[in-house]
């Protein structure tokens, strides 16, 4: 995989030797004029062919009447013309042997059914001719590494480009321009700014894959509204992790439609947005809310910092900032480093008597009279192995403060230790000297600590690995055509795949029920079994604490009659052992149309959907991953035992989740969803036991 | 209260006629030089008396050798000298009849025990002489309304002052300077910038009270690390609400010490930080995390917007921003306004065919070719009564866009409707025209919608009112000296104050227990009763589901023996009815050393502390306030009934909370805390019933 270079991939678009502009304009402020202007201005070394039948020359270049008139088939054609002309131009490109066509025009798939049909047909013809299509309805592509700019964003005028180590790939042209502008505004160089628009052919995943193979790219930013090609995005992420390329993604648009259509708990709990979260987490992609958050964190990533620990040192010249820093460290999960006695003494030796030598370190307004304090204190702290991350907060400074010296000392510290150090300073006069020395500097503590926390968490995500699950035979489902397996069938299927299920008997007569009571032992549960009644308790078809064989027999008769009354298939009555455990969990899995098997685990019982205390996992995962996910639940404090209770058997629960996940993953096209609720979990060593389950067949 | 003016209050400090500067310097960059420089520069019309025995003149003013040499006792003295000299100067001020002394020097209470003692003695002497003391360890006071600047912040040089409608009162000098600088950086005028430092005498509450009485102040910002005088702050907040003066506070420093010392559930759940939250909420003060958040929201408050509703209209020229706006509206609790068919038609008529006329309104890049779109669309939306709040997001613009026209149209819209409208635009060239027209303009959507949501929520808080509770007789507690009442006493006390408690009998013999079982009815609960064993179940002293009188008698004997074994006072054994209810809640109250009675309600049962699903209320409150608080719980979805269940009797629960709160409020010095857990709550109409309770006597 490593041998593949970007140029093997979408070379004709990202590194074209020749570009035709269909609808070229002399006016550099028009959409047809800008790309030519940009390419000439930003050093594109290939051949540019303006196509405009009305002119002989465009922007100093020979203009052609048509594609056919060109001396060669260009690698890339940029289709500026709109409507029917755009479709005709794409067809001409395909016929002429163009390798990549970027279609700017809108009014296709995004405009309704008719547009969608035209778009599909156009794309099919392009593909048949072996041509890749970008857009339509896109702002286009821009590679500032070679000046190949097949796009028209005005942002390249607003904020002048500079080549650099960042790639931006976005469905939305607006968001790609915004990310570009914000990054450039922070002084960072940007190489790739690509928008995919309607994604009739090439998707964000395709371009992300290509850009990840540009060895100069050190940070990849994505904006997506849907994940058209999750398999390729996953491969891109794997490749990126291998070469230590962080990916930060924005995924906008939370559709509730999937949730509304869901008939199972799992469908509602492992909803689209949670599955997206799980997908990104699984693949080591960090998700943020918008391009502002992407740009905010970029510089810290480009420093190459990949912190292993989260222990924070806070240094400020304001006592209030130290107080707030302690609050914030808790909030961001960056515990204050417990400095050694030696470090504290070293710091105290350098500070005036009334300053604090614990962490947060308050160097006080004494900084005003002694500019060397920063430079004195930093090395004293640097050698402490308990310190992973450093935060310098300067909420107030100005005339009288030697900020240049503070910044120089900070830069020296960073160069010597390689440890992450960030600064908060809202006054531009204070921030500028730090920024000039390459120290990531933020307007405030929230931003600074937010970025440090992100860096530590994202590093941990990027370092995780997921051993593949061994291939498994697809499960054999019982004969039948109903949507659901009945409970006995569901339990049996789980049991056959290594999931511990409650002792039970499926009975077809009162006599069998009485016998079964004797076998499973009382008190027992008696519940009707019919694939037609997946939610039994709502019909009074579950009897708990049945204390005698006679009662079991009587309940059989009552439930059997009730099933007839409901017109439901009478598949039997289950007599099962009462298994209490200490806490009820739910485990589920479903086949997601985008991500494939999605697994959910959470607090169980009848309020699972109302309380939504769940975690979502994507295969493959191990028991350790499940246990880490359980720690994110709101009920996590109960897992280890509170009020003197012993811990719960989370190992056994984790094994259930893995087994359910592996069953689901082995059953595409066979199983649509599995709901297991409750799983009774006992004290550590006592195991976990599935008491009820519902398996839905794939349609 | 309205007749009081600021000048009746801390007039000598905030509006002095004469100011002495003890330790005056010729050098305007020194602490002793800056205040004189600032006063002369910013129009202080009173008399300034530099005191410096080494000079005849300071900064063009006659200098005096000592306070004694002054021609009058100055209203205000600013003590710049440090250490022992500061103490001596304060004493001289007191002797000379100075009304207010601002002590800059540090090394007092914040420096340790010795400093604390010196500070206390100095303050006591000042008070005895009728002089108010500001500080020590303060950056001082500044009133830009009259140029009385008894402070030395360099920030007044960094960012030039302009008088305006904002008051800043802060314990921390750094945070007051930062708030000032941030506000001025946003172009807002600031009148008051006061820091209280060690608060030996005058506190943030005192100054807040005074500043709230300045009729020109329209927004009051506070920074606190502790609330020294909650009663006065509460009165200030009440006065401020009366005159529609919003208060936004930062409270830093979350001490865990109170939590660690707590022996009751309530003590741990209604911890300091939750009590602070409840205090601010109760008094209509909005809490934010830092001065950045204060400054961010200031302009929107100063517009005078006090939105009654939260229904949002999003307008953008970027489709992606519309998608993200829909996501964010959900996140911020600002539901997208459902525009009428007429409005949608009106918008659609004005937009090109491919633009979206639903909300969010995507006016698309067509804005580039038609600058009038904004001006066309806004009035079409303005008339829709479903729209409360407006958000215009322009993530990308620049050359070619007539941003001046957009801004002018927006300002016209705002002037015509008076409805809140905010803008997000990160490009300064785009933001500037909006800012110039007084439209609050933010860097991004998160900030813009955060401020709108804050404004709506804060308005609702400011409009709430709390009817006072009628005065109540203090409760009579049973004789005894133990820390806790026993369970029977606790239940009886609650019952006597209108709280429904479970039917129970306190028995002193097995025979009484057998009789009691017959009276309360089986199955019953049998539990030992001893003030020495507040947590009975941990000792196996609670038996549930006791099915016969004989069993009750036997349990009496066993528990009676167990109490003896534990060496606990044998006060009886309770035989109580088993009351199940549908959900267990916890209710508690405690006497907080700062805030007085604090009440907590939340999800009950044995995991209350582990799961911490609670809301905190400060008296007085009504049942409606309790019900609103219950809606903030994580288990809130269960209150109205899920999965076809009927709603819970939240009215009955609310009455319990009010009764417990009123009992607590009537018992200062008598009751330290009340834990009621569980309160069994049934289906609506079935009531609530306290099953266990523990009352702790005040020390």
The pLDDT tens digits of the residues spanning B374-433 come to 888 888 888 888 999 999 999 998 877 899 999 999 999 999 999 999 999 999 999 999
A chain contacts of residue B178, beta-carbon cutoff 8 Å: 395-396, 426
Kind and range of the H or E run holding B381: helix B373-382
- Which positions 676-695 of B are in contact with A (Cβ < 8 Å)? none
Q: Give A584's contacts (C-beta < 8 A, 6+ positions apart).
A: A603, A604, A605, A677, A678, A679, A680, A681
> At how many degrees (to 10) do helices A373-382 and A403-417 cross?
20
Does residue B650 sit within a domain?
Answer: yes
Q: What whole-number distance in Å separates Cα of residue A316 and Cα of residue A327?
A: 14
Task: Count helices and strands (H / E) in chain B.
Answer: 26, 29
**What is the value of pTM for the model shown?**
0.95
Q: Is B216 on the interface with A (CB under 8 A)?
A: no
Same domain assignment for residues A189 and A162: yes
Same domain assignment for residues B455 and B312: yes
DSSP B194: E
Report residue B492 as tokens: 């009886």
Does residue B489 sit within a domain?
Answer: no
Report residue B476 as tokens: 């009579």
Q: Is A546 left (phi over 0), alpha (psi -120 to 50) or beta?
A: beta
Does residue B487 sit within a domain?
Answer: no
Does residue B480 sit within a domain?
Answer: no
Same domain assignment for residues B230 and B153: yes
- Please say which residue of A301, A323, A338 terminates a domain: A301
Same domain assignment for residues A535 and A626: no
Q: What is the mean pLDDT of chain A?
A: 92
- How many domains does chain A fold into? 4
The pLDDT-based confidence of B265 (bands split at 50, 70, 90) is: low
Do the Cβ atoms of A327 and B538 come within 8 Å? no
Does residue A482 sit within a domain?
Answer: no
Q: What are phi and psi of B346, to 5 degrees?
A: -60, -40
Residues for chain B: how many in total?
A: 699
Same domain assignment for residues B433 and B562: no
The pLDDT-based confidence of A370 (bands split at 50, 70, 90) is: confident
Q: Is B111 on the interface with A (CB under 8 A)?
A: yes
State how beta strands B596-603 and B583-592 pair.
antiparallel
The pLDDT-based confidence of B264 (bands split at 50, 70, 90) is: low
Does residue A489 sit within a domain?
Answer: no
pLDDT in tens, A46-64: 999 999 999 999 999 999 9
Nearest CA in chain A to B254: A327
| B624-628 mean pLDDT | 97
Same domain assignment for residues A390 and A353: yes
Same domain assignment for residues A289 and A317: no
- Which positions 473-532 of A are in contact with B (Cβ < 8 Å)? none
DSSP A667: -
| A693-698 mean pLDDT | 95
Question: With 70 as the cut, is the pLDDT of residue A11 above it?
Answer: yes
> Nearest Cα to A580, choosing from A678, A495, A649, A685?
A678
Q: Is A318 on the interface with B (CB under 8 A)?
A: yes
Do the Cβ atoms of A289 and B446 come within 8 Å? yes
Looking at residue B250, what is its pLDDT? 97
Same domain assignment for residues A240 and A366: no
> Nearest Cα to B83, choosing from B103, B63, B112?
B103
Q: What whole-number distance in Å separates Cα of residue B682 and Cα of residue B47?
A: 72
B chain contacts of residue A400, beta-carbon cutoff 8 Å: 29, 154
B chain contacts of residue A321, beta-carbon cutoff 8 Å: 174
| B30-57 mean pLDDT | 96
Same domain assignment for residues B558 and B424: no
Q: How close is the nearest chain A Cα to the Cα of B222, in Å? A: 13
Looking at residue B260, what is its pLDDT? 39
Q: Is A330 on the interface with B (CB under 8 A)?
A: yes
Q: Give A680's contacts (C-beta < 8 A, 6+ positions apart).
A: A579, A580, A581, A582, A583, A584, A688, A689, A690, A691
pLDDT in tens, B539-565: 889 999 999 999 999 999 999 999 999
Burial class (CB in 10 A: 0-12, 13-18, 19+), B669: exposed
Q: Give A382's contacts (C-beta < 8 A, 6+ positions apart).
A: A413, A416, A417, A419
- Please say which residue of B273, B301, B329 terminates a domain: B301
CATH number at residue A104: 3.40.50.720
Q: What whole-number distance in Å separates Cα of residue A112 and Cα of residue A131?
A: 25
Q: Look at A549-553, B320-324, B365-369, B593-597 and tell me which has the smallest mean pLDDT.
A: B365-369
Same domain assignment for residues B244 and B307: no
B chain contacts of residue A610, beta-carbon cutoff 8 Å: 637-638, 642-643
The pLDDT-based confidence of A355 (bands split at 50, 70, 90) is: low
* Look-up of token digits 């609960």: B525
CATH number at residue A507: 3.30.1490.20
Same domain assignment for residues B554 and B629: no
Task: Count helices and strands (H / E) in chain A.
Answer: 26, 29
CA dihedral A172, A175, A176, A178 (to 10 degrees): 160
Q: What whole-number distance in Å separates Cα of residue B124 and Cα of residue A221?
A: 62
The pLDDT-based confidence of A270 (bands split at 50, 70, 90) is: low
- Please say which residue of A561, A577, A593 terminates a domain: A577
Nearest CA in chain A to B318: A174
CA dihedral B111, B114, B118, B123 (to 10 degrees): 60
Do the Cβ atoms of A290 and B607 come within 8 Å? no
Q: Is A644 on the interface with B (CB under 8 A)?
A: yes
Q: What whole-number distance in Å separates Cα of residue B697 and Cα of residue B292?
A: 44
Task: Say whether A539 sits in a helix, a strand or coil.
Answer: helix
Nearest CA in chain A to B316: A174
* Look-up of token digits 């003890």: B22
Nearest CA in chain A to B170: A320
Q: Look at B3-12, B18-27, B283-292, B359-368 and tell me which has the smallest mean pLDDT.
A: B3-12
Query: Could you tell me what percent of chain A has a pLDDT over 70?
Result: 96
Same domain assignment for residues A296 and A310: no
pLDDT in tens, A581-601: 899 999 999 999 899 999 999
How many cross-chain Cβ pairs, A to B, lie less than 8 Å apart?
171
Q: Give A613's contacts (C-beta < 8 A, 6+ positions apart).
A: A602, A603, A633, A634, A635
Task: Say whether A11 sits in a helix, a strand or coil.
Answer: helix
| B123-139 mean pLDDT | 95
Do the Cβ atoms of A354 and B252 come within 8 Å? no
Nearest CA in chain B to A324: B252
CATH number at residue B660: 3.30.470.20
Q: What are phi and psi of B161, to 5 degrees?
A: -70, 155
Cβ pair A609, A290 in contact under 8 A: no
Do the Cβ atoms of A318 and B182 come within 8 Å? no
Looking at residue A268, what is its pLDDT? 63
Does residue B479 sit within a domain?
Answer: no
Q: What are phi and psi of A442, to 5 degrees?
A: -120, 165
Question: With 50 as the cut, is the pLDDT of residue B238 above it?
Answer: yes
Do the Cβ atoms of B395 and A609 come within 8 Å? no
Shortest CB distance from B398 goes to which of A110, A154, A327? A154
A chain contacts of residue B351, beta-carbon cutoff 8 Å: none
Domain that holds residue B399: 303-463
Q: What is the DSSP string of B403-465?
A: HHHHHHHHHHHHHHH---EEEE--SHHHHHHHHHTT--EESSHHHHHHHHHHHHHHHHHHH--
Shortest CB distance from B323 goes to which of A225, A446, A634? A225
The pLDDT-based confidence of A256 (bands split at 50, 70, 90) is: low
Kind and range of the H or E run holding B680: strand B671-681
Count CA atoms within 13 Å of residue B296 on its CB side.
25
Q: What whole-number distance in Å separates Cα of residue B109 and Cα of residue B140?
A: 17
Sheet hosting strand B542-546, strand order edge to edge:
B504-507, B573-577, B524-528, B542-546
Residues for chain A: how many in total?
A: 699
> Nearest Cα to B143, choosing from B170, B168, B173, B172?
B168
Does residue A95 sit within a domain?
Answer: yes
Kind and range of the H or E run holding A134: strand A132-134
């Amino acid at each position: 995989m490593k041998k593949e270079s970007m140029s093997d991939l979408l070379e004709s678009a990202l590194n074209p030797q020749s570009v035709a502009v269909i609808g070229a304009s002399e006016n550099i402020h028009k959409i047809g004029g800008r790309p030519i202007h940009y390419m000439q201005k930003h050093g594109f070394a290939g051949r540019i062919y303006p196509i405009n039948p009305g002119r002989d020359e465009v922007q100093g270049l020979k203009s052609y009447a048509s594609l056919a008139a060109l001396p060669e088939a260009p690698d890339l054609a940029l289709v500026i013309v709109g409507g029917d002309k755009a479709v005709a131009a794409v067809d001409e490109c395909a016929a002429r042997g163009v390798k990549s066509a970027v279609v700017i025009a809108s009014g296709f798939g995004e405009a309704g059914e008719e547009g969608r049909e035209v778009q599909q047909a156009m794309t099919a013809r392009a593909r048949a001719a072996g041509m890749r299509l970008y857009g339509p309805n896109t702002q286009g592509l821009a590679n500032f590494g070679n000046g190949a700019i097949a796009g028209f964003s005005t942002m390249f005028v607003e904020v002048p480009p500079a080549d650099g180590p960042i790639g931006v790939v976005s469905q939305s042209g607006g968001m790609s321009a915004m990310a570009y502008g914000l990054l450039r505004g922070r002084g960072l160089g940007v190489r790739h700014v690509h928008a995919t628009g309607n994604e009739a052919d090439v998707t964000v995943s395709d371009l992300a894959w290509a850009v990840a193979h540009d060895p100069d790219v050190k940070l990849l930013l994505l904006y997506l509204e849907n994940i058209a090609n999750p398999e390729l995005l996953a491969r891109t992420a794997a490749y990126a992790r291998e070469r230590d390329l962080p990916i930060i993604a924005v995924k906008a648009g939370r559709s509730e439609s999937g949730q509304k259509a869901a008939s199972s708990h799992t469908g509602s709990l492992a909803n689209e947005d949670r599955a997206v979260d799980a997908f990104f987490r699984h693949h080591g992609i960090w998700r943020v809310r918008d391009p502002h958050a992407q740009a905010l964190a970029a510089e810290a990533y480009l420093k190459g910092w990949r912190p292993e620990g989260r222990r924070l040192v806070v240094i400020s010249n304001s006592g209030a900032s130290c107080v707030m820093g302690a609050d914030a460290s808790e909030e961001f999960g960056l515990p204050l480093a417990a400095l050694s006695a030696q470090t504290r003494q070293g710091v105290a030796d350098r500070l005036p008597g009334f300053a604090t030598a614990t962490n947060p370190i308050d160097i006080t307004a004494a900084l005003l009279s002694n500019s060397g304090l920063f430079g004195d204190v930093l090395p004293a702290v640097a050698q402490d192995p308990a310190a992973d991350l450093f935060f310098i907060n300067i909420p107030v400074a100005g005339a009288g403060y030697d900020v240049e010296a503070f910044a120089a000392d900070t830069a020296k510290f960073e160069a010597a230790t390689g440890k992450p150090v960030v600064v908060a300073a809202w006054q531009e006069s204070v921030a500028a000297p730090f920024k000039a020395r390459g120290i990531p500097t933020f307007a405030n503590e929230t931003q600074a600590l937010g970025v440090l926390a992100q860096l530590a968490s994202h590093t941990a995500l990027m370092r995780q690995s997921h051993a593949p699950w061994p291939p498994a035979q697809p499960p054999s489902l019982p004969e039948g055509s109903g949507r659901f397996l009945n409970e006995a069938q569901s339990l049996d299927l789980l049991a056959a795949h290594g999931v511990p299920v409650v002792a039970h008997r499926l009975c077809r007569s009162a006599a069998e029920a009485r016998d079964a009571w004797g076998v499973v032992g009382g008190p027992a549960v008696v519940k009707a079994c019919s694939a037609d009644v997946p939610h039994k308790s709502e019909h009074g078809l579950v009897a708990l604490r049945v204390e005698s064989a006679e009662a079991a027999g009587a309940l059989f008769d009552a439930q059997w009659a009730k099933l007839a009354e409901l017109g439901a298939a009478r598949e039997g009555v289950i007599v099962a052992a009462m298994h209490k455990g200490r806490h009820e969990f739910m485990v589920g899995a479903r086949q997601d149309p985008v991500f494939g098997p999605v697994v959910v685990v959470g607090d169980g019982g009848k309020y699972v959907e109302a309380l939504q205390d769940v975690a979502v996992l994507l295969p493959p995962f191990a028991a350790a991953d499940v246990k880490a996910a359980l720690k994110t639940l709101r009920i996590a404090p109960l897992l280890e035992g509170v009020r003197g209770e012993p811990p719960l058997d989370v190992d056994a629960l984790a094994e259930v989740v893995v087994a359910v996940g592996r069953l689901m993953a082995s059953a595409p096209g066979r199983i649509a969803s599995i709901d297991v609720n409750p799983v009774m979990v006992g004290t550590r060593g006592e195991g976990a036991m599935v008491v009820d389950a519902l398996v839905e067949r794939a349609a």
